[in-house]
Amino acid sequence: MTVKARAFANIAFVKYWGKRDARLVLPHNGSLSVALDFLSTETSLDLLSRSADRDELTIDGVAATERERARTSAFLDAAFGNDRARACIVSQNSFPTAAGLASSASGFAALALAAAEAYGVPASVDRSALARLGSGSAARSIPGGWAEWRRGEQDDGGDSLAVQIAPPSHWDVRLIVALTMMGRKEISSRDAMARSVETSPYYDGWRQSSPRDLEGARSAVLARDLRALGEIAEHSCLKMHALANTARPPAIFFEPATLAAWRAIQGLRAQGTPVYATVDAGPHLVALCAAADAERVERQLSATPGVVRTICCAPAGAAEVLA
């Protein structure tokens, strides 16, 4: 029987950047995001007969690389046990993968949901904790909407879950993705954050200051305070990049066009449009603004040298098993 699930990507305003436990994917700090309606992954999963000895994986119509397949199998083993039946997985993204657009978040969330259903995991088992084992940010794509992934205090990660703090309808903002460069990025967020934890002299500062960012961002979302959320988002983003930039060797994600887009956002703000920027572990920028200002922001970003395309997203909901 085929199980199909869909999940949306998310963009974090308080970033997750560093694990305290790599095996259980437990973060050093809590994070907060919103799900993006235009960026989604649909995944179909079939359990194979017991004689099959490996998982099969197709992404966007082509057979996955050995590396992608191994990471997926390792995730399924960690979440559902080594003696599970192997699976045939077909995953389709609505956007370019591995270009820093958080495809691992929607990808692992959709996969976790479909697999939990196929393997008969009771509904009482939190799906965000399963998705987390595939990719940390995927935990937040399970509840969707305005989501917070809690750091948790337990060593076994039992309390490191993601919850929806407000539904997508709570706040009519737009998230405008400015794609600055197509193609795959050079270093994964997984490797870059591990290197940041180990070698950036600023990591302690990150760990100490993130809880306050999280509290401030949560309050700003609940109060629909764009300026408060935007200022924290830019701060958390630039701190995260400061960690990556000061790792040894460094992981530099900004391209000239990323900085040009950041300047464009500052320019709009100086002219009175409340709009804020954030950048994940890739060269693309995401602008946060009110729905009423989205057209102006999109026009400005499209006219920025090096920006190849813009995608305007609204908040999206939870990951779902599809009929």
Site for ligand DP6 in 173-192 (CB under 6 A): 189-190
Q: Does 28 bind ligand DP6 (CB under 6 A)?
A: no
**In this complex, which beta carbon is closest to ligand DP6, that of residue 87 or of residue 281?**
281
* Of positions 3, 5, 9, 12, contacts ligand DP6 by CB under 6 A: 12
- Residue entry with tokens 């040009």: 260
Do the beta carbons of residue 34 and residue 147 sit within 8 Å?
yes
Q: Does 31 bind ligand DP6 (CB under 6 A)?
A: yes
Query: CB of residue 280 vs ligand DP6: minimum separation in angstroms?
Result: 4
Q: Does 280 bind ligand DP6 (CB under 6 A)?
A: yes
**From CA 26, how far away is CA 232, in angstroms rounded?**
23
Query: CB of residue 105 vs ligand DP6: minimum separation in angstroms?
Result: 6
**From CA 44, how far away is CA 87, in angstroms rounded?**
10
* Of positions 26, 39, 64, 102, contacts ligand DP6 by CB under 6 A: 102
Q: Which of the ranges 12-20, 41-49, 114-122, 153-161 carries the binding residues for ligand DP6, by CB under 6 A?
A: 12-20
Triad 212, 263, 182: Cα angle to 5°: 95
**In this complex, which beta carbon is closest to ligand DP6, that of residue 12 or of residue 312?**
12
Site string for ligand DP6, 284-313 (x = CB under 6 A): ------------------------------
Residues 6+ positions from 272 with CB-CB distance below 8 Å: none
Q: Does 196 bind ligand DP6 (CB under 6 A)?
A: no
Query: CB of residue 103 vs ligand DP6: minimum separation in angstroms?
Result: 9
Q: Does 281 bind ligand DP6 (CB under 6 A)?
A: yes
* Of positions 5, 7, 9, 15, contacts ligand DP6 by CB under 6 A: 15
- Token output for 223: 């109060």
Q: Does 103 bind ligand DP6 (CB under 6 A)?
A: no
Alpha-carbon torsion angle 231, 146, 212, 215, nearest 10: 120
Q: Which of the ranges 86-94, 129-137, 296-304, 306-314 carries the binding residues for ligand DP6, by CB under 6 A?
A: 129-137
Helix spans in the chain (H): 66-80, 103-118, 127-132, 138-141, 189-199, 203-222, 226-245, 256-270, 294-302
* Of positions 3, 25, 109, 268, contacts ligand DP6 by CB under 6 A: 25
**From CA 271, how far away is CA 274, in angstroms rounded?**
9
| Nearest CA-CA partner of 99 in 189, 22, 193 | 189
Query: CB of residue 25 vs ligand DP6: minimum separation in angstroms?
Result: 5
Mapped onto helix, strand or coil, the DSSP state of residue 10 is strand
**In this complex, which beta carbon is closest to ligand DP6, that of residue 15 or of residue 293?**
15
Site for ligand DP6 in 131-160 (CB under 6 A): 135-137
Alpha-carbon torsion angle 43, 311, 71, 73, nearest 10: 0
How many chain residues are in contact with ligand DP6, going by CB under 6 A?
14
| Nearest CA-CA partner of 30 in 45, 42, 48, 14 | 14
- Token output for 153: 């205090």
> In DSSP terms, which residues pair with 313 in a beta bridge?
175
Q: Does 258 bind ligand DP6 (CB under 6 A)?
A: no
Give the interface with ligand DP6 as residue ranges (CB under 6 A).
Answer: 12, 15-16, 25, 31, 102, 104, 135-137, 189-190, 280-281
